[in-house]
Amino acid sequence: MKLGIIFGGLSYEHEISIVSAIAVKDVIKNHNLSFIFLDENRDFYLIPNDKMKSKLFSSGDYKKCEKIDIDKNGFFTKGGFFSKEKRVDIEIVVSTMHGGDGEDGILSSLLDFYNIPFMAPRTEACVVSSNKYLTKSYASECGVKTIDFRYFTKNDKVKVDKYPCIVKPVKLGSSIGVSVVNDEKELDYACDVAFEFDDAIIIEPFIPGVKEYNLAGCKVNGEFQFSIIEEPQKGDFLDFDKKYLDFARTSTAQKALVEDKIDAKLKQAFEKIYNTIFEGSLIRCDFFVVNDEVYLNEINSIPGSLANYLFEDFNKTFDGLLNSLPTKKKVPISYEYVNKIHANKGK
């Protein structure tokens, strides 16, 4: 199959999207890959496979690559005086675009608008998963517990009743702008850091030594396919630098030793979160376990390097998802209502 791996975007997570796409290049088998880079100006570039190296982007040399555009037939190069328009031969687009433009639903809406097949969360799934406040509300409605939290905007007086706590921007991932706060003296600075990245924050109690587990998966022909369960190696807090390494991972992670009842609870919680809203995407859910109860921490709707390192046979799951993507129902436009008005009023 001919796949277009799209990455970059106007986002605080722009660079880790590049790292993720480079990792995916070495992981996806059995398919012809084309790489499409979206730069900070929202211009698309077709990147040759042999040039997929981080230095190409940091140096700006990607601008020497072929610039492409998008329409209802997919991606294409614009013709000039001496050349004709040429189509990029792609059957399905696969997104490794993290953060803004990718996980917030902008790209999904664009691909959906042009009716281009893609593997990524649909717009409504992006809305739910890219906003931590909405994620918690959604999880609650699905019957999955979350850690208690307070929500504040820039105009609010931020008040915390108990320390330590953790301060998070509402719409960012990869632990960007996240701080652990031990006392009131540290609160103002932590809020300033978070508000640099977002107009709203959430504050949760910080639970030292909490058990954390990662589980990825998707639906293939209506049946759930799960990865192994991983217990990420961390200190008290899995910060950006530690998470950043996940985006370059290609070797299989170590399977966590969890009791059968916790294994079952984690998978049940994942199924409730995935539901039907995340169909067409491979996601990773990060969970906390406190006193044998499972709590959703966050939904990674486009996980780093597609969470390939969590699967014992990533390509089998990946290919299965490619072959069972949802199709959009065609809406019939008949003008029946307009014709009735015309018949009745003669207008």
Q: Which residue has the tokens 């696969």?
A: 94
Predicted pLDDT of residue 282: 98
pLDDT value, residue 308: 95
234: CB partners within 8 A, 6+ apart:
212, 242
Give the per-residue pLDDT at 129.
95
pLDDT in tens, the chain (347 residues): 999 999 999 988 999 999 999 999 999 999 999 999 999 999 999 999 999 999 999 999 999 999 999 999 899 997 666 667 899 999 999 999 998 899 999 999 999 999 999 999 999 999 999 999 999 999 999 999 999 999 999 889 998 989 999 999 988 765 778 889 998 889 999 999 999 888 999 999 998 888 999 999 999 999 999 999 999 876 545 444 555 455 556 677 889 999 999 999 999 999 999 999 999 999 999 999 999 999 999 999 999 999 999 999 999 999 999 999 998 888 889 898 888 887 777 55
Among candidates 15, 10, 60, which has minimal Cα distance to 244? 15
User: What pLDDT does 253 receive?
Assistant: 83
pLDDT of residue 174: 58
Contact 35, 121 (CB under 8 A): no
Cα angle, residue 186 at apex, residues 182 and 190 outer, rounded to 5°: 105
Residue 10 near residue 22 (C-beta atoms within 8 A): no
216 Cβ contact partners less than 8 Å away, ≥ 6 residues apart? 226, 227, 282, 283, 284, 285, 303, 307, 310, 311
Q: Residue 37: count other Cβ atoms within 10 Å of its Cβ.
A: 25
Is this model's pTM higher than 0.85 or not?
A: yes
Residue 284, pLDDT score: 97
What is the structure's pLDDT at 238? 47
Round to whole Å and give the CA distance between 135 and 139.
6
Side chain identity at residue 283, one-letter code: I
- What are the CA-CA distances from residue 316 to residues 67, 227, 319, 322 (Å)? 33, 11, 5, 10
| pLDDT for position 240 | 47
Could you give the domains of the chain? 2-120 (3.40.50.20), 128-144+208-322 (3.30.470.20), 148-205 (3.30.1490.20)
